[in-house]
């Protein structure tokens, strides 16, 4: 049985009671989000919280934009997940392929993407798929590849030619290009696009019917815009991926591109909290969510992050917790000790990317949720 149907029973009377209960219990947490809207940290947000196997919060605040006439955010509004793609799609695909014995984490990247090794830098042959997951490949944090590449093949080639900034395995440094290459490697291992694989093998079994790369045009009116792009595409960005590199890749990429409502992100979290049913075995989950000891001092797990201090997860998530952030104002944090997941989706980049106030409101919201429990 799919996780979303187990968690989210469609009983109108039950939903009314739950709505009343969540307003009473989590009023302070909601007021933090409402204050974030007032201070223009984000124009609106949708949240979902699961606790001990049940949905306990499903809430929306604010509007699609700061215009009072814009649409109100609904609990099931669909958001650009930005880098949550790394865990909802790319890491999820890696976990499933690993579970099925089709993915060896110690495989050298050049064996899957030979063009990565065409440089004279012999260090490149030491980069493994595990290093891409842990962000220890030595690749740069970011590169404006879209400025030189106008099609997917050219952008992938540019990513494969990026110079290493450190020896492979020597340090942890978050890398979007690393996940661009990881996404491509997984597509080659799976023999199909990341979109097709995830829709069939990850999202469909969990009832995640509105989780998509490249959402259909008829969905766009339910998706808050991410920005007024004045430098690259020169138009309002709504219903298409904000990240420029992902856009050149056709909207399907390892580092960004997935759209989803909060409830369906929570369905993926609940799958993990329930030991992987129906996708994974607990041992696979344990392997991927464990904080890595190499490189020393890293907060990274395999594809996931873990709380550091200070953390956007707040003060209370346990040391065994794991999660991820997204540039557009999205986040997912999971605490296996409490059997808790918190999904917070927003478009804090509207109308541009300057505001960073979400960094104040997000941990405060997480703290208020746990204090209410």
pLDDT tens digits for range 149-166: 999 999 999 999 999 999
| 8 Å CB contact between 26 and 369 | yes
Q: Does 3-82+259-372 carry CATH code 3.40.710?
A: yes
Mean pLDDT of 333-340: 98
**CB-CB contact of 155 with 248 (8 Å):** yes
Decide: helix, strand or coil at residue 229: strand
What is the C-alpha to C-alpha distance for residues 299 and 307, in angstroms, rounded to an integer? 7
Pinpoint the alpha helices (H) of the chain.
3-7, 12-25, 27-38, 85, 91-99, 109-112, 129-134, 152-160, 176-190, 194-198, 244-248, 262-273, 282-289, 358-372
Torsional sign, CA 294, 296, 301, 303: negative
**pLDDT surpassing 90 at residue 8:** no
Report which of residues 14 and 130 the model is more confident about: 130
**What is the rounded average pLDDT of the residues 177-194?**
98
Q: Per-residue pLDDT for 11 more than 60?
A: no
Closest CA to 156 of 125, 180, 121, 179: 180
pLDDT in tens, 222-277: 999 999 999 999 999 999 999 999 999 999 999 999 999 999 999 999 999 999 99
Paired residues of 227 in beta bridges = 237
Which string of b and e fits 301-335 if b means at least 16 CB within 10 Å?
A: bbbbbbbeeebbbbebbeebbbbbbbbbbbbbbbb
């Amino acid at each position: 049985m799919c996780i979303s149907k187990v968690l989210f029973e469609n009983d109108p009377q039950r939903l009314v009671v739950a709505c009343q209960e969540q307003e009473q219990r989590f009023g302070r947490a909601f007021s933090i989000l409402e204050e974030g809207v007032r201070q223009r940290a984000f124009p609106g947000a949708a949240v979902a919280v699961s606790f001990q196997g049940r949905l306990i919060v499903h809430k929306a605040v604010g509007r699609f934009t700061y215009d009072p006439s814009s649409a109100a955010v609904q609990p099931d509004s669909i958001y650009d997940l930005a880098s949550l793609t790394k865990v909802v799609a790319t890491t999820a695909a890696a976990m499933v392929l690993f579970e099925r014995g089709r993915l060896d984490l110690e495989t050298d990247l050049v064996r899957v993407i030979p063009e990565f090794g065409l440089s004279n830098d012999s260090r490149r042959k030491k980069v493994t798929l595990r290093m891409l997951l842990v962000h220890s490949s030595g690749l740069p944090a970011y590169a404006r590849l879209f400025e030189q590449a106008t099609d997917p093949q050219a952008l992938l080639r540019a990513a494969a030619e990026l110079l290493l900034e450190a020896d492979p395995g020597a340090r942890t440094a978050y890398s979007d290009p690393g996940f661009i290459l990881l996404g491509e490697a997984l597509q080659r291992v799976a023999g199909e696009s990341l979109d097709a694989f995830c829709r069939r093998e990850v999202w469909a079994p969990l009832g995640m019917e509105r989780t998509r790369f490249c959402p259909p045009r008829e969905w766009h009116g339910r998706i808050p815009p991410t920005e007024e792009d004045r430098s690259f595409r020169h138009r309002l960005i709504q219903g298409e991926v904000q990240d420029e590199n992902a856009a050149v890749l056709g909207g399907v990429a390892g580092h960004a591109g997935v759209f989803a409502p909060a409830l369906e992100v929570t369905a993926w979290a609940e799958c993990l909290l329930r030991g992987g049913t129906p996708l994974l075995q607990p041992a696979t989950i344990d392997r991927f969510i464990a904080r890595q000891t190499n490189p020393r001092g890293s907060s990274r797990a395999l594809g996931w992050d873990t709380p550091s201090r200070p953390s956007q997860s707040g003060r209370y998530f346990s040391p065994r917790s794991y999660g991820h952030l997204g540039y557009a104002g999205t986040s997912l944090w999971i605490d296996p000790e409490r059997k808790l997941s918190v999904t917070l989706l927003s478009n804090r980049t509207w109308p541009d990317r300057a505001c960073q106030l979400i960094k104040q409101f997000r941990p405060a919201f997480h703290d208020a949720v746990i204090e209410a429990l």
